[in-house]
Amino acid sequence: MTHTLHRMGSAQSLSEDLVLLIMPSKDINHEGSAPKLRRFFELALENGAIKIGDCRSGNEYYQGGVTEMMSNVQDRAVIHAVFKDETALVSMLRALKQEDLGLSVVVSGLFDSVGKCCREAGLEKHTVNQSLGRWGRVDGLPRGPVLEINTMCGHGMVTVGRINQITDEIKTGRMTAEEGAEELFKPCMCGIFNPHRAAKLLRVLTGQAPPAGT
């Protein structure tokens, strides 16, 4: 799940950014997996997910709503759920353990936070992937909250230009930070963008709140 590994930000900010991915294995257990994937969506919503998404068919805006997205889940889909706190994530992990869907599940977040949640849910980590940061001409990258918002879409669909445009809209009072965050979620087809965290970062960008940790 490398497209969620490169999220930037302070530990305080990233503590509200926890992503789950579930997927079948190609040519092994993908046939007939759609009902299991749909059940994952149901469990995620029941246990406090703030967003869900389907990497194969697109997010709720692309498909016309959450109900349509859940109905359209296909075998071989790669689906996601975003959580904003450890309590909800632990609840979800416990539900998945009890459901035993038989599909690979990946948790993305800060090491300490993910480890704590797994232990509380009675689970052991199997494999760990770690981002090694950015290499090359990093001097051209945006700084601060803009980069933090941009990296919440691992495929780069939430562009810097769009973030700046939304920031201007908020500054002039044409939309709230929450509305802006929801607009930024829309192009993230996988649904891994975290609008709860994005709204907080937009408030920092527009001078409505201090940076996290200050």
3-state secondary structure 106-132: EEECCHHHHHHHHHHCCCCCCCCCCCC
More confident residue, 130 or 212: 130
Q: Which CATH class is domain 2-120?
A: alpha beta
| Domain residue limits, the chain | 2-120, 140-205
Interval 173-201 mean pLDDT: 96
Residue 1 has pLDDT above 70, yes or no: no
Beta strand spans in the chain (E): 18-23, 51-54, 79-83, 104-108
Model pLDDT for residues 15-39, shown as the tens digit of each residue: 999 999 998 877 676 777 899 999 9
Alpha carbon distances (Å) from 138 to 6, 56, 133, 134, 143:
14, 31, 10, 7, 10
Confidence of residue 65 (pLDDT cuts 50, 70, 90): very high
Q: Please report, to the nearest 10 degrees, the dihedral formed by the alpha carbons of residues 193, 197, 199, 200 taken in order.
A: -160
pLDDT tens across 99-126, in order? 999 888 999 999 999 999 999 999 988 8
pLDDT at 107: 95
